[in-house]
Amino acid sequence: MRTITTTEDLAAFCEAAKAAPYVTIDTEFLRERTYWSKLCLIQMALPGADGDAVLVDPIEGEAMSMEPLYDLFRHKATVKVFHAARQDLEIFFVEGKVFPDPLFDTQIAAMVCGFGEQVGYETLVKKIARENLDKTSRFTDWSRRPLSQAQKDYALADVTHLRVIYEWMAGQLAKNGRQKWVEEELAVLTDPATYTVHPDEAWMRIKTRTSSGRFLAIVKALARFREEYAQTQNVPRSRVMKDDALLELASTRPTSMEELGRSRLLLREGRKPEIAEGILAAVKVGMEMKPEDIPRPDNGKEQAQVNPALADLLRVLLKAKSEALGVAPRLIASAADLDAIASGGRDVPALMGWRGEAFGDDALRLCRGEIALSAKGSEVRVVRL
Q: Is the per-residue pLDDT at 86 higher than 90? A: yes
| Angle of helix 213-233 versus helix 243-252 axis, rounded to 10 | 140
| Planar angle of CA 78, 79, 81, nearest 5 degrees | 140
Decide: 24 and 129 in contact? Cβ < 8 Å.
no
> Please, which residues have CB within 8 angstroms of residue 165's CB and are 6 or more apart in sequence?
83, 106, 124, 125, 128, 129
**What DSSP character marks residue 377?**
T
pLDDT value of position 226: 98
> Is pLDDT at 88 greater than 70 in this prediction?
yes
The burial class, CB within 10 Å (0-12 / 13-18 / 19+), for 262 is exposed
Residue 304 pLDDT more than 70? no
CB atoms within 10 A of CB 147: 21
pLDDT score, position 328: 84
Once rounded to an integer, what is the mean pLDDT over residues 6-33?
Answer: 97
Q: What average pLDDT does range 130-149 have in this prediction?
A: 91
Q: What is the mean pLDDT of residues 64-80?
A: 98
Model pLDDT, residue 74:
98
> Which residues, at least 6 apart from 151, have a Cβ–Cβ distance to it below 8 Å?
137, 140, 142
Contact 378, 368 (CB under 8 A): no
- Mean pLDDT (whole number) for 291-298: 84
Identify the pLDDT of residue 299: 57
When pLDDT is averaged across residues 222-242 and rounded to a whole number, the result is 96
Q: What percent of the chain has pLDDT over 90?
A: 83
pLDDT score for 136: 83
Q: Three-state SS across 97-122? A: CCCCCCEEEHHHHHHHCCCCCCCCHH
Please answer whether residues 94 and 35 qualify as being in contact, where contact means their C-beta atoms are separated by less than 8 angstroms. Answer: no
297 pLDDT exceeds 90?
no
122 phi/psi in degrees, rounded to 5: -60, -40
Give the model confidence (pLDDT) of 251-279 as tens digits.
Answer: 999 999 999 999 999 999 889 999 999 99
Query: Structure pTM?
Result: 0.88
Buried b (16+ CB within 10 A) or exposed e, 15-35: eebeebebbbbbbbbeeeeeb
Q: What is the pLDDT of residue 241?
A: 96
Let me know the angle formed at the C-alpha of 344 by 343 and 345, rounded to the nearest 5 degrees.
Answer: 100
Helix H or strand E segment including 3: strand 2-4
Residue range 203-208: mean pLDDT, rounded: 92
Residue 348 confidence class, pLDDT cut points 50, 70, 90:
very high
Identify the pLDDT of residue 49. 84
Residue type, 40: C
> Which amino acid, one-letter code, is at 12?
A
Answer left, alpha or beta for residue 83, where phi above 0 means left and psi between -120 and 50 means alpha: beta
pLDDT, mean of residues 158-176: 96
Angle, in degrees to the nearest 10, between helices 308-325 and 335-342: 130
Whether 295 shows a pLDDT value over 80: the answer reads yes
- pLDDT tens for 118-138 read 889 999 999 999 999 888 888
Residue 37 has pLDDT above 80, yes or no: yes
Mean per-residue pLDDT over the chain, rounded: 94
Can you list the domains of the chain with their CATH numbers?
Answer: 2-195 (3.30.420.10), 199-293 (1.10.150.80), 301-384 (1.10.150)
Using alpha carbons, select from 23, 54, 18, 61 the residue that is nearest to residue 39.
61
Instruction: Provide the percentage of residues in the chain whose pLDDT is more than 70.
Output: 98
